[in-house]
Structure 1
């Protein structure tokens, strides 16, 4: 299944059906930011208070207020060792759920680096896996907003199929504490992973494996 692949005719047809619900707002018009005030700035993200004007269907406007979390784009990776057919999983404290959570390697992109460069850097820093780019096949799953109603964080989700690699030193910030292990596909499927972008990567890999099995 491919998301975001519709053509212009399909877009117009579906948008016309949506507009028939008479929501009162012209959703073809670009929203106008009236004001934007930073209310909080932390080490990882900031919070803005925004006032936005939406054009109405009768040519007027309606004003709404929203708070948005400003966050740099990120990468999430399902790492697959092709030779052993195993996958990397991690466990670390996650403040949002106030628990030690199982998950996949992930990290924030540094400035202008591409998602692929960020993925290889995070792979090395977070797992210690060192591999040449030519020894990694990157399966781009897609780009997804974690919580589009309140955050601008765009997450690049991918599966890394690593053919040859060596183990190096892991590198963390002073307040990072991450466990790592290799697991089989059957073990991975049974793990209670709750992060949505990690689940997307795993489901994508499930479809790939099913396609190979049925070919």
Structure 2
């Protein structure tokens, strides 16, 4: 049986024939929360090349479950795509912010919901070829609706749908957001009992 490669703390592997080694790094852009670097690296065969990538602070996504089985979704205009996208609630981590605290904050700010219980499902890396971005996937249940607290300049619609409706939109191409597609995969497996969640009471 072939064993999966073992990851080290930097995300590299012990498969030396695949690893690229940093030689030098140059900052190309420093934005409000994104940074772009151009690194020179040594390839496994000894040749040198450059890698340009985005440094991202990380984010969370919330699969929020209503008591009747529906999920909480958003419609938001995403400027790079010049389109309104259907998404699970999500948001970036503030400096020094814990993942669960961020998930609770973003769910309340964007949708008005608070949750009685939370479970961390895992992590996804949406654009591994050019960004360090990671998204922690959280599930929330026992929802109570209150007042949204949108940031200045933030505009989005909140709505609900059944898992079957969301799955249909994923299959038809109406949903193309990578994190939401991944969230649907997680939701399918959780509802089927294939993937278990470790629920914990919210700490406010």
TM-score class, shorter? 0.7 to 0.9
Shift of 1:109: 0.7
The answer for unaligned runs of 5 or more in structure 2 is 7-14, 195-204
Shift of 1:154: 1.1
Counterpart for residue 10 of structure 1: 3
Shift of 1:211: 3.2
The answer for unaligned runs of 5 or more in structure 1 is 1-5, 14-18, 20-24
TM-score of the superposition, structure 2-length normalised? 0.79
Contact 2:73–2:160 (Cα < 8 Å) also in 1:
yes
Which secondary structure state, in structure 2, belongs to the residue aligned with residue 201 of structure 1? helix
Counterpart for residue 52 of structure 2: 67
Counterpart for residue 88 of structure 2: 104
Task: Work out which of the residue numbers 89, 95, 103 in structure 2 matches 1:119.
Answer: 103
Counterpart for residue 43 of structure 2: 54
Are 1:35 and 2:24 an aligned pair? yes
Q: Say which structure is richer in helix.
A: 1
Q: RMSD of the alignment, in Å?
A: 2.4
Task: Work out which of the residue numbers 128, 132, 136 in structure 2 matches 1:156.
Answer: 136
Counterpart for residue 22 of structure 1: none
Structure 1 runs of 4+ aligned residues shifted over 6 Å read none
TM-score of the superposition, structure 1-length normalised? 0.75
Shift of 1:139: 4.4
Give the 3 Å change call, closer, same or farther, for CA 150–182 of structure 1 in structure 2: same
Which secondary structure state, in structure 1, belongs to the residue aligned with residue 96 of structure 2? coil
Contact 1:159–1:201 (Cα < 8 Å) also in 2:
no
